[in-house]
């Protein structure tokens, strides 16, 4: 079975960074219900790879990868999507010049079998 890869945000209202709390608690959570983001997040499954990103700043097109983990479980019976995560690499501060449009909270799933994203996935998720 092929792994799915997700790039997610952890800043509420764009400035209230939750990533350190998420890593400490062993979770990632989508805390709002805007657009199709809850439906996308609900597709995340145990065994999927997940990376928390931050935007580089105004007029910048890249992203910064902060933490990488493996999803252990997903809780969908609340008004939020909560993933339990084994964070395998934290505090990375890895700049990825090409964002692939990852400006919202949930992006994916990506797969390595897709030639358009294989190299990018390896850049984002390499340990």
Question: pTM to 2 decimals?
Answer: 0.92
In the block, tokens 């809780």 appear at: 75
pLDDT of residue 83: 96
At the topology level of CATH, where does 5-125 sit? ph1033 like fold (3.10.590)
pLDDT(35) > 90: no
pLDDT(103) > 90: no
Which range (5-19, 37-51, 78-92) has the least confidence? 5-19
Select from 2, 5, 1 the least CA-distant residue to 69: 5
pLDDT, tens digit, 9 for 90 and up, residues 65-88: 999 999 999 998 777 889 999 999
User: Which pair of structure tokens corresponds to residue 14?
Assistant: 């764009």
pLDDT(124) > 70: yes
In the block, tokens 């509420």 appear at: 12
pLDDT(15) > 80: no
pLDDT(1) > 80: no
Q: How far is CA 81 from CA 67, 73, 78, 97, 105, in A?
A: 18, 11, 7, 28, 12
User: Which pair of structure tokens corresponds to residue 27?
Assistant: 């979770």
pLDDT of residue 58: 75
């Amino acid at each position: 079975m092929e792994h799915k890869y997700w790039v997610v945000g952890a800043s509420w209202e764009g400035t209230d960074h939750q990533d350190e709390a998420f890593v400490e608690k062993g979770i990632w959570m989508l805390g709002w219900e805007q657009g199709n983001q809850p439906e996308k997040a609900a597709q995340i499954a145990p065994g999927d790879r997940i990376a928390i990103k931050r935007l580089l700043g105004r007029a910048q097109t890249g992203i910064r990868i902060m933490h990488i983990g493996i999803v252990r479980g997903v809780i969908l019976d609340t008004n939020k999507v909560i993933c339990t995560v084994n964070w395998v690499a934290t505090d990375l501060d890895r700049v990825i010049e090409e964002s692939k449009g990852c400006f919202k909270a949930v992006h994916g799933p990506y797969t390595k079998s897709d030639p358009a994203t294989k190299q990018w996935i390896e850049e984002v998720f390499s340990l």
